[in-house]
Amino acid sequence: MKEERVASGIQGLDELIEGGFPNGFCYAIVGGPGAGKTIFGAQFLYQGATKYGENGLYITLEEPPYSINNNMLRFGWNLYELEKRDKLALIDASPMKSSKGSYAIKAGIGTEDFSIEGLLGVIAEAKRKINAKRCVVDSLKALSIQYRDEFETRQQILKLIRSLTELSLTTMLLAETSEEKMDAQSFGTVEFLAQGVIYLHTYRIRDNTVRAIEVRKMRGVKIVNKLCPYTFTDTGIVIYPQETVFR
Ligand X SMILES: Nc1ncnc2c1ncn2[C@@H]1O[C@H](COP(=O)(O)OP(=O)(O)O)[C@@H](O)[C@H]1O
Question: Which residues of this chain interact with Mg ion, rule CB under 5 A?
Answer: 37-38
Nearer to ligand X, 155 or 231 (CB): 231
Q: How far apart are CB 115 and ligand X at their closest, in Å?
A: 25
Answer yes or no whether residue 76 interacts with ligand X by CB under 6 A: no
Give phi and psi for 133, each to the nearest 5: -115, -25
Q: How far apart are CB 63 and Mg ion at their closest, in Å?
A: 6
Answer yes or no whether residue 108 interacts with ligand X by CB under 6 A: no
Answer yes or no whether residue 36 interacts with ligand X by CB under 6 A: yes
Question: Is the backbone peptide bond immediately before 102 cis, with ω within 30 degrees of 0?
Answer: no
CB 49 within 8 A of CB 213: no
Nearer to Mg ion, 38 or 43 (CB): 38
Nearer to ligand X, 151 or 232 (CB): 232
All residues at 6 or more sequence positions from 183 whose CB lies less than 8 Å from its CB, including other chains: none
According to CB under 6 A, which one of 10, 39, 89, 169 is a site residue for ligand X? 39
Answer yes or no whether residue 34 interacts with ligand X by CB under 6 A: yes
All residues at 6 or more sequence positions from 135 whose CB lies less than 8 Å from its CB, including other chains: 56, 57, 58, 59, 123, 127, 164, 169, 170, 171, 172
